[in-house]
Amino acid sequence: MSKKYKPHEFASKVGVSTKTLRRWDACGKLIAKRTISNHRYYDETDLHKLFNKTKEENRKTIVYCRVSSAGQKDDLKSQVEAMEIFCLASGVAVDEWIQEIGGGMNFKRKKFLSVMSRIQNG
């Protein structure tokens, strides 16, 4: 469970006033969470939203499915189907589907290296 911050604690942590937090809450920029007694609070996810905004805007969801050999093509198809079912059931919007045949210890797989390069280069 992530740490909860009272409004004055969170304001101090992000370098704004509590009045600014109330304004952000009202305009929808950063909506405060509420306790059962209707007191505002913030948590680690709110810090992430504020400080990693640009990363989230550029974030893509990629599903990478791999099997070791061409003889496992049926397994690859089953793996993709299972991931489709999972993503649909979980409400995960997938931007790109990647399928590859290559051994797990082979670190020269083109599609794998492409994904890793994209992650590294942002």
Phi, psi of 60 (to 5 degrees): -125, 150
Q: Active-site residue among 2, 17, 68, 69?
A: 68
Measured distance CA(53)–CA(108) in Å, rounded = 33
Residue 86: strand, helix, or coil: helix
Is 68 in the active site?
A: yes
Query: Which residues have C-beta within 8 Å of that of residue 102, sequence separation ≥ 6?
Result: 66, 68, 109, 112
| Token pair recorded at residue 102 | 């290559």
Cα–Cα distances in angstroms (integers) from residue 62 to residues 31, 39, 86, 112, 122, in the given order: 28, 38, 13, 11, 14
List, by residue number, the catalytic residues: 68
